[in-house]
Structure 1
Amino acid sequence: MRTFFIDFMKHRKAALMLSLLCIAASLGLIFVKGLNLGIDFTGGNVVQVEFTQPTAIEDIRQVLASVGQGGSVIQSYSDRGVIIRISANEEEARRQTVESLRSKFPGMQVIRLEKVGPVVGEELRQEAFIALILALAGILAYITVRFQFRFAVVSVAALLHDAVITLGMFSLTGMEISSSFIAAILTIVGYSLNDTIVVLDRVRENWKNLRSAGIVELLNSSINQTLSRTINTSVTTLLPVIALYLWGGEVLRSFSFALLVGILVGTYSSIFIASGLLAEWWNKVPQKG
């Protein structure tokens, strides 16, 4: 028995306008301010050092943070030796890093200093872009066959909406983008698509009521029928992501932040964007038959 009913579609135009503004702002930030690409994308310096006694990674990172290299990749290969990848290409940044470590850990020995190229090179970025286009085309084709073409289009639009706004948040905050960000974006796409499909699947089940209820009422009913599932999934997913963001350390900070933004935006888009676009499209161009 239904205990409450929220008229989501009443606010669809305001929600779509808000999303358009957020997308425009995100694209503006990306093109004007740019993204803070990490060493995986830009290359940098590798510093291999050995300390006189076992040293905690967190202590090393605190020293690096004091010279603006808190996001460096630190890999230990023994209880006293670490390899540090700093994102800056300048020799001065490398010198400051070594000097700050020596002042904190007297007796430290520098084993290796060298420049390295980006892990995610131009060719890999092009291949990733092609893979993304093919994946979106596959999603479009599958949902068209499984549901209908309009469902497929609004689903892909919701995915692009989530990805662009997440990128915009990274540009706004200046948070570093590493290779783990790619994994986070793919996770967001999967999460958002699953959430959208749950709503659209209920829309398909209720499609027989289209003539009597109309597209707006049908979408409202479908969203409300799946709302408890959406809330439960979002909350239970957000709790570990928040914990990961707060206590996961610097290395996982960008990954968990991307998931945090993506889950929030993905939940919003599955309710307002996909359904709102479908309602507006149907009202303007009703499907015959």
Structure 2
Amino acid sequence: MASAGLASRLYAGDANINIVGRRKMWFTIAAALVLISIGSFLIRGFELGIEFAGGTSFSVPAAAGTKTLTQDEVSSAVEKAVKQAAPEAAITTTQKVGDGKDASFTVRASALSTDEAKEAKAAIVNDLGVDASKISDDQVSAAWGGQVTRQAVIGLIVFLVLVVAYLIIRFEVRMAVAALASLLFDLVMTAGVYSLVGFEVTPSTVIGFLTILGYSLYDVVVVFDKVQENTRGITAGSTRTYAEATNLAVNQTLMRSLNTGLVALLPVGGLLFIGAGLLGAGTLKDLGLVLFVGMGFGVLSSILFAAPVLSALKDQEPKIKAHNARVLARRSKGSDDVVRDRTRPANATASDVPAMAGGTTPRPGARPAARRNANRPGGPKR
């Protein structure tokens, strides 16, 4: 009941949360996060999976006769065997695949020649006592990873071009620019988390990146659709600035965005924390992390970044500037159409509108002056 009451108050504008008005703060935070991500790209880089960097993959069964091998035992044995065959080589990751008697460990190492791989395989058999026929090794070329990367980049570019074209047709150019900025912010932040955490970049990661783009776009479109509804014909009135109308739209869609995001994150969180974390299904880790981080940032950026960017862009339009100045001038005269913030100076100008430091909003239920005058004796007829 409390959440329903809050949602109703947000929609009506009674529980006004000043999000757009604090856009300078959100932009500062976003810039800091982007700088941290870029710094991680340059310093730490990315942990490329064997599909991208190339290498040799060994598959070792978890059962050695009556003994069940642990991940540490297998990892140590493979590392020792690889070093013996090629002293400059090293293992990168060890993942458990499956469970029970069919479980196995996949160990990825640096690229080895055919003879070196055979020598390492023989050393693993002698060390762990497993059946040689149950150990497999695969050579992966980095050229295949380069091809996957090129295809992913092409897919990303095509997706972004189609998104911009759709948003321009559906909304307008400035909304398309704001939405694109939000999508790029999501990509940079998700990639930054991947770089900082050190998870491997695999084909599953690439698929996850393309998936979160669609999810982020959905949430941005929902917010912008409400912004367009609230700002349609806004310059004909003088009760709200564009920033205030945008902030009201964000408030009206806030509960929907949070609920949708929570519902989407629950199964993805289960995939990441339960499947990959507790059950040890390493193959789910790559996809789970990119989806969880990307969807989370998608929800936040549609609320805290996309709408403020749109407001900042629209406030540069001469028509919107004139409208904002007219609203402030009317407000400074104490018009009964709006409730003037007592903390705002009476000589506030249009440049003060985006700040909305005191959370100034029109009085809920206030009607435009033209509509009230139409009901007065001698007033213009509708």
For residue 87 of structure 1, report the CA deviation from its aligned partner.
4.4
Matched, 1:160 2:184: yes
CA contact (8 A) 1:9 1:276 kept: yes
Q: Which residue of structure 2 lines up, in the alignment, with residue 20 of structure 1?
A: 31
Q: Which residue of structure 1 lines up, in the alignment, with residue 170 of structure 2?
A: 146
CA contact (8 A) 1:140 1:156 kept: yes
Give percent identity, aligned residues only. Answer: 30
Matched, 1:2 2:9: yes
- State the AA in 2 paired with 1:270: S
2:72 and 2:9 map into 1 onto residues whose CA distance is 54
For residue 90 of structure 1, report the CA deviation from its aligned partner.
5.2
Q: Which residue of structure 1 lines up, in the alignment, with residue 131 of structure 2?
A: 108
Aligned pairs for 1:260-275 within 5 A: 260-275=292-307
> Measured at CA, do residues 64 and 191 of structure 1 come closer, stay the same or move farther in structure 2, by a change above 3 Å?
farther
CA contact (8 A) 1:38 1:87 kept: no
- State the AA in 1 paired with 2:111: N
> Measured at CA, do residues 65 and 263 of structure 1 come closer, stay the same or move farther in structure 2, by a change above 3 Å?
farther
1:97 and 1:206 map into 2 onto residues whose CA distance is 67
Q: Secondary structure at the match of 2:45?
A: coil
CA contact (8 A) 1:45 1:86 kept: yes
> Measured at CA, do residues 33 and 83 of structure 1 come closer, stay the same or move farther in structure 2, by a change above 3 Å?
closer
- State the AA in 2 paired with 1:8: I
Q: Which residue of structure 2 lines up, in the alignment, with residue 278 of structure 1?
A: 310
Q: Which residue of structure 2 lines up, in the alignment, with residue 172 of structure 1?
A: 196
Using CA pairs under 8 Å that are at least 6 residues apart, name the structure with larger relative contact order, 1 or 2. Answer: 1
> Measured at CA, do residues 49 and 262 of structure 1 come closer, stay the same or move farther in structure 2, by a change above 3 Å?
closer
1:254 to 286, 309, 312: 286
2:189 and 2:117 map into 1 onto residues whose CA distance is 32
2:67 and 2:146 map into 1 onto residues whose CA distance is 36
2:254 to 203, 207, 227: 227
1:275 and 1:239 map into 2 onto residues whose CA distance is 25
1:116 and 1:44 map into 2 onto residues whose CA distance is 5
1:247 and 1:100 map into 2 onto residues whose CA distance is 31
1:286 and 1:103 map into 2 onto residues whose CA distance is 76
Please, which runs of 5 or more residues in structure 2 have no aligned partner? 1-7, 80-90, 276-280, 324-382
Aligned pairs for 1:24-173 within 5 A: 24-47=35-58, 61=71, 63-65=73-75, 69-72=92-95, 74=97, 84=106, 86-89=108-111, 103-104=127-128, 106-110=129-133, 112-118=136-142, 120-173=144-197
CA contact (8 A) 2:94 2:106 kept: no
- State the AA in 2 paired with 1:266: G
1:7 and 1:166 map into 2 onto residues whose CA distance is 27
For residue 23 of structure 1, report the CA deviation from its aligned partner.
1.1
- Count, aligned residues: 284
CA contact (8 A) 2:125 2:132 kept: no
For residue 273 of structure 1, report the CA deviation from its aligned partner.
1.2
Structure with larger Rg: 2
CA contact (8 A) 1:245 1:256 kept: yes
- State the AA in 1 paired with 2:178: V
CA contact (8 A) 1:64 1:70 kept: no
Q: TM-score, normalised by structure 2?
A: 0.65
1:7 and 1:226 map into 2 onto residues whose CA distance is 14
Q: TM-score, normalised by structure 1?
A: 0.84
1:98 and 1:20 map into 2 onto residues whose CA distance is 53
1:246 and 1:94 map into 2 onto residues whose CA distance is 37
1:210 to 210, 220, 234: 234
For residue 95 of structure 1, report the CA deviation from its aligned partner.
7.0
